[in-house]
Amino acid sequence: MKTFPKPLTAREERECLERYQEGDQEARATLIERNMRLVAHVAKKYQNTDYDMEDLLSVGTIGLIKAVNTFHTDRGSRLATYAAKCVENEILMLLRANKKYSKEVSLFEPIGVDKDGETVSLVDVIEMENKEALETIILSQDIKELYDAFDHCLRDTEKKVIGMRYGLYGGKEHTQREIADMLGISRSYVSRIEKKSIEKLRMEFEKNNKKSGIIK
């Protein structure tokens, strides 16, 4: 699967949007191409369904194209936030055709209306508190994947060391010396376990992202 280019910066996005609004189709193509990584991130959330990533990416791309075609700069948010909503809605339409996923919940589904009568979704509420809402959503997804890798990639001793070292699952962070004393092993051994465990987690995380085409 191809590797997607990096997203546009806020300035680059604004310039492309302005050019597209003036009829520049090359700018439109750039907006679509440079947001494909976003499509992959959203689609990755549903990669364990009955649909493979190629199908999810294809459907998600339709949502992205719709977003680029209908986005207005006066919305007060980045194109990516609006596009994420369109991409996920398009994928959920596909999944809901399968009754097995009829109750799938989306961050972008309406949860009420604002004072102007406009529908409000959970991600809109998040964005009110954090203008980098999309990045926060993707980071939360990445953290979940790292925890999943922690659970099935590491041995018991490795889990203990990494869990105590970084305060996972709400625990307290400890120094290598403190961990060594608690486990009755040398600090250098703790360091080796930590280094090996982090490499395992990194490889697992990158493997998952390769499957989604997000990184090489």
Q: Classify the phi-psi angles of 76: left when phi > 0, otherwise alpha if psi is within -120 to 50, otherwise beta.
A: left
Q: Per-residue pLDDT averaged across 103-110, rounded?
A: 52
Q: What is the CATH number of domain 10-107?
A: 1.10.1740.10
What confidence category does residue 95 fall into, taking pLDDT thresholds of 50, 70 and 90? confident
Mean pLDDT estimate for the chain: 78
Domain ranges of the chain: 10-107, 154-211
Which tens digits make up the pLDDT trace of 178-187? 999 999 999 9
What is the share, in percent, of the chain residues with pLDDT greater than 90?
A: 26
Highest mean pLDDT among 102-106, 113-117, 186-190: 186-190
DSSP reduced 3-state for 160: helix
Q: Tokens standing for 132?
A: 């980098």
- Taking the C-alpha atoms of residue 88 and residue 117, their distance in angstroms, rounded to an integer, is 23
Which tens digits make up the pLDDT trace of 72-87? 877 667 888 888 888 9
What confidence category does residue 103 fall into, taking pLDDT thresholds of 50, 70 and 90? very low
pLDDT of residue 49: 81
Establish how many alpha carbons lie within 13 A of residue 141's alpha carbon, considering only the half-sphere containing its beta carbon: 18
Question: Would you say the CATH fold of 154-211 matches that of 10-107?
Answer: no
Its CATH architecture, for the domain 154-211, is Orthogonal Bundle (1.10)
Which tens digits make up the pLDDT trace of 159-192? 999 989 988 877 888 999 999 999 999 999 999 9
